[in-house]
Structures are given as structure tokens and as C-alpha cells.
Chains A and B, each alone.
Chain A
Amino acid sequence: MTRVWKRWLPAAVVPAVVAGGAVLGTVQAGAATDLPDKTPQEVLEMVADSSVRSLSGTVEQTSELGLPQLPTDSPAGESDASSGVPSGVASALELLGGSHTARVYLDGHSQARVQVMDRLAERDVIRNGRDVWLYSSKQNAATHLILPEGSESEGYHGDKAWTPEDLAEHFLSSVEPSTEVTVGSDSEVAGRAAYELVLTPDSSETLVGSVSIAVDSETGLPLSVDVEARGQDAPAFEVGFTELSLETPSDDLFNFTPPPGATVTERVVEDHHAKHAKHAKGDRGEHSKDYVKYGSGWETVIGLPADEVPPELMDSPLIAETAQEVDGGRLLSSALVNVLVTDDGRVFAGSVPLEQLQAAAEGR
């Protein structure tokens, strides 16, 4: 009889060891780190002082916005056209829901490549100097944008006179009236020790619970951003590196030639304004001058007049199914943002409860 028990021993021990190993792996990933204490001002100075210009890494994004998941992840690979939504809007909406993994390569200000890794497909954005290529493997289509002259050397902050201290102070003074800025417990992101900068809105009238930004303790590079929504346990929006290397990526990555057989669209980006529209992913950028702002800080509500809203947007089955009827219009509700479409076609959006959107809509 003891022989029989001995022979069943591996069947009990091996699963236990495997389970133990799996548990240990997850515990180690969350191991606490201990860094010298810093004030929010000092952490912000580190961010502003950060000199990281070349990196390659993997970025993961997950959102729990409470929106229905869009069936674009299926391996069969349906085309976006069948859903009836303009494909640009659809892909932007799709990026907001669910989780995505992307690889990011940066070299200086003018060379960048982002690869959004879908199931059995990939979407690429490659910038090399003035050339920007967008490529989607599912559609086998490439778009070539040529940026205006002089944009190769331009950074994101045109003002070179700002010192890190100034930037940190400016950020704090503009944010502090409505927000509490603290440094949370040290964390580990992508295997690097990081400071956690936590922004908590003072107002209770916003859907945003808190925003935490992990800042690399060595280089000051922001490593991850988590947005917590009120009344929800899981972070509503998370984006952060899972792997990061600060080595300069290979130059070949930034040289893109559209593959044979791909449909290529050529586009020239002319003026400065259009360029900004592109940065805003083409969606809302071009309307930016016509919106109306109500409230301030975290309670800001943006109102769009009816003629600025693309009509096909509201007719799309996607939005028709998601929106729910409320007093005075239809509401698109998510964990972080509410959007109210009034009966006369105006659109109000903000990180606020529905009542405030309705108040803004009535008050005009």
C-alpha cells in the first residue's frame, strides 16, 4: 500500500511546485523597492530634466472604461468598413477599449516607430525626419505623409529657455489650485525602480479618482500612467512600459519602403495647423477652435455646436447601440468620460456626472 502512495507522490508534488512557482513569480513582480524620498517638485524636475531621446521598449495599455468591447480582435479579420463607422473613428475608439501591446522605438526627436501588435496583424507608424508612414497589415495599405519643412529638428517644447525647475514650478502652480500632488510609494515598472507621482482632484464632482504617473528613478522618464475612476476598483486606463531598453535602436527600423502590392496613399501635410490636427489623430483636432468651455479644472465640460458634429458619427450602429436615452438627449457613458448628445444635435463631453452635462446643455 505504501508503494502505491509513493507512486502518487509526483502527481501531488509536481502540480504544487508548478503552482508555487507561478505564485512566486507574480509576487516577485510586485516586490517593493526603496528609493530615497523626494518631494513632488523634485520628481517633476527629474521629469523635465530627462534627457532620454532614444529607447526601445514594449508598451501595454489596458482600459476598463465600461464600454462594450468591440469585436475587432477576432482572428478572422473582418474589415472595418462593415461596421459602418468611418474607419479612422473606429480604430481610434478601438484603441480606447480592451488592451493593446505596442513596441516603441525612438531615436532623437525625428526618428520614431510605433508597432501596435494586433492578433495576426500589426499597425505601424514610422517617422524618419520629414517622412511619416502609416501601415496596416490587415488592409495591406500604407499612407505616406510628408511633414512641412523644418519639422525635423523641432521638439515638442519649442521654448528652449525653460529650465527643468521652471517647468516643474509652472506645472505645479497651474495644477495645484484644483489638485493635490503627492509622491506615493515607490514602485517597479518594466524592472526599473520608479517614483510614483499621484494627482488627486480636490473636486468631488469629477469621475476621475486619481492619476498616478510612475517616473523612472534614474532617468526621469515617465514609465507608466494609471487613471483611476471613482467607484471602480480596476484602473480605468493604464498605459506603461513592460520592457524598456535605453539603447539606440537600429537605424533600419526607421527606413520604411511600402511592401510590393500595398495600396499607397500620398499626402502632404501643409501648414502648422493641419499638423496639429494630425497629432490629435484627425478626430477632433480640426474642430478645436469652435468648442465652448464650461467650468474649470477637472469639472471642465466641452460643448460642440450641432453643425460641428459629423452627422455619420451618430448614425453609426456602434454609437446607436451604446448610447442610452436620458433627459434631453442620449448619453454615452464610460468610467472616465460622459458624452451627452442633445436632441438638437449638440455634443457635451466631460469627466463629470450626467447632471452637470445636462446643466451645461440647458444653460447654453
Chain B
Amino acid sequence: MLAALAAVPVLIALAVRLSSRDPGPGQGPPFLDRVSQNGLFIALTGMVVSIPLFLPLTVSVAAGDTIAGEAGHGTLRYLLAAPAGRIRLLAVKYAAAVVFCLAAALSVATAGVLIGSALFDVGPITLLSGDTISVGESLLRLFLVACYVGLSLLGLAAIGLFISTLTEVPVGAMAATAVLAVVSQILDNLPQLEWLHPWLFSHHWLGFADLLRQPISWDSFAANGLLQGGYIVVFCALAYSRFATKDVLS
């Protein structure tokens, strides 16, 4: 799955490299017009393109598989027969999902930087504010962006974990989680539901742009952390209660 994610920036880079016509300013996904001047922007374009669907989809697969996958394989019984305890199993499974979220975001960023530096010039990066920062600092900012995106997905991973405890069919849990991610984004785009927007787990997904301003605006990082923290606490508690009281038959 990480390889599939890494393919996104590679595809964008090849498309820009092979096409004879540069996209004009403001055309296509954000940052695409800068790519031919500076390869580092591939990582950002890849990030913007992956956030709405690819990243949530892979995270849904990873998180939906956690408990339901073991149940589906009939291995959950044996895992619980070992003196590990259900809480510990749940904690380990969620920790694995968290690691996957961060790895997914980092792999998009890393693949973008690598393919960008292979196919295009790399130079000081222009921030949204119009200021220019050095390559070293750009890489640091890209790392921060990847952390931000990884953090943004933790709430979804917690929801996936909870759904995964509800069913024994892993595909069902994955699909339900992915659908929720899409629904949340659709709701976030309806102006009639403005009161709801700050409570949607996908509300801050594109807020990583605040890390590309000069000086960095940490507001959305903090707001995002708080929001995701709320989702993690609520859904991990639900998952624990459901899992602890569940009759494990398979």
C-alpha cells in the first residue's frame, strides 16, 4: 500500500516531465505550476492530490483490518488465548495503525522529494507568503507537512479501529471507514452545515498549507491536534468497550 501511495507523486512527476506544455499559474492542483521550476513541489502536489482519497483509503484498509481481519482469518481466538489481554491487543493494533498513518504520509513526501530531485531542478522553495527559504529548511517544512498529514489521519484510524471491532468481515470495516472519510469531506463542503464543520475529522486535512507561510502559523496544527485527539479518545473508548464485551467466536 505504501508503494501505491508513493506512486502518486511519481505519476505526477512523469506527467509533468513528459508533457511539452507547462501548466499556467493557478491551473491544475495547487503547486503544480511550480513543479517544473522546483522538483520539491512534487511532494506538495502529491500530498494535496492524495489527501482526499488515496491516504484515507489506505488508512481505512489498515485500520479496518486490525480486529476484523484477525476475526475473519479465525486467528483472533488464538491471539486472545495467549495471556495478552484484550486491552493490550487493541493498543498494539491501534499503535500499528498510527505507525501506518505516519508512514503513509512520509512515503508520499519522500517519494515526491526523490522523484522531484531526479527529474527536475531543486532549489530554494517559495512559500505561500512569497518568501523564499533554503533547501534544508524546505525539507524540514516538508517533514512537518508529512507529520501534520499523518496526524490528521489518526482520528480516521481510531474510527476504523472501532468499526473493525463491530464486525468479523474485514472488507466491510474497510469500506465503512472509507465511506465515512468521503462523507465527512462532502459534509465539509456544504455551506449549509457550517456549524458542523469544525467538528468533522476531515476539516483540517488541507490545513497543512499553514506550515508553508512565513512565519509558520501553528494555529491549525494545534486545532487539528485537539480535534484528532478528541476523536482518538472517543473512538478508542468505544472500541475498548465493544471489544471487551464481545463474544469472540472466531
Contact = CB atoms under 8 A, between A and B. Distances in A.
B131 A256 contact: yes
A15 B241 contact: no
B240 A11 contact: yes
Interface SS majority for chain A: mixed
A14 interface: yes
A124 B24 CA distance: 20
A156 B176 CA distance: 59
Interface stretch (B30-38, B56-64, B94-102, B146-154): B30-38
B206 A120 contact: yes
A103 B217 contact: yes
Contacts of B214: 253
Nearest to A256: B130
B185 to A, nearest CB: 10
Contact of A137 (B37, B130, B206, B217): B130
Interface in B109-166: 123, 126, 128-132
A345 to B, nearest CB: 33
A14 B234 contact: yes
Interface in A102-146: 103, 115, 117, 119-122, 124, 133, 135, 137-142
B230 A137 contact: no
Nearest to B123: A260
Residue of B26, B48, B206, B240 most packed against chain A (CB within 10 A): B26
A118 B36 CA distance: 24
Contacts of A142: 130
A117 B213 CA distance: 9
A88 interface: no
Nearest to A105: B215
A122 B30 contact: no
Interface residues of B, number: 36
Contacts of B209: 119-122
A18 B231 CA distance: 9
A77 interface: yes
B25 interface: yes
B237 A11 contact: yes
Contacts of B27: 77, 79
A13 to B, nearest CB: 8
Given A7-B244, A11-B238, A121-B209, A69 B126 contact: no
Interface in A64-93: 69, 75-79
A135 B129 CA distance: 8
A141 B131 contact: no
Contacts of A138: 25-26, 30
A24 interface: no
Given A7-B245, A124-B130, A261-B34, 16 more contacts: A8-B241, A15-B238, A18-B230, A18-B233, A77-B29, A79-B25, A79-B27, A117-B217, A119-B206, A120-B128, A122-B209, A140-B33, A140-B34, A140-B126, A261-B37, A262-B126
The 5 closest A-B pairs by CB, nearest first: A11-B241, A14-B237, A259-B126, A122-B128, A135-B130
Interface of B: 24-27, 29-30, 33-34, 37, 48, 123, 126, 128-132, 191, 206, 209-210, 213-215, 217, 219, 230, 233-234, 237-238, 240-242, 244-245
12 contacts: A7-B244, A7-B245, A8-B241, A11-B238, A18-B233, A18-B234, A75-B206, A77-B26, A77-B29, A120-B209, A259-B130, A261-B126
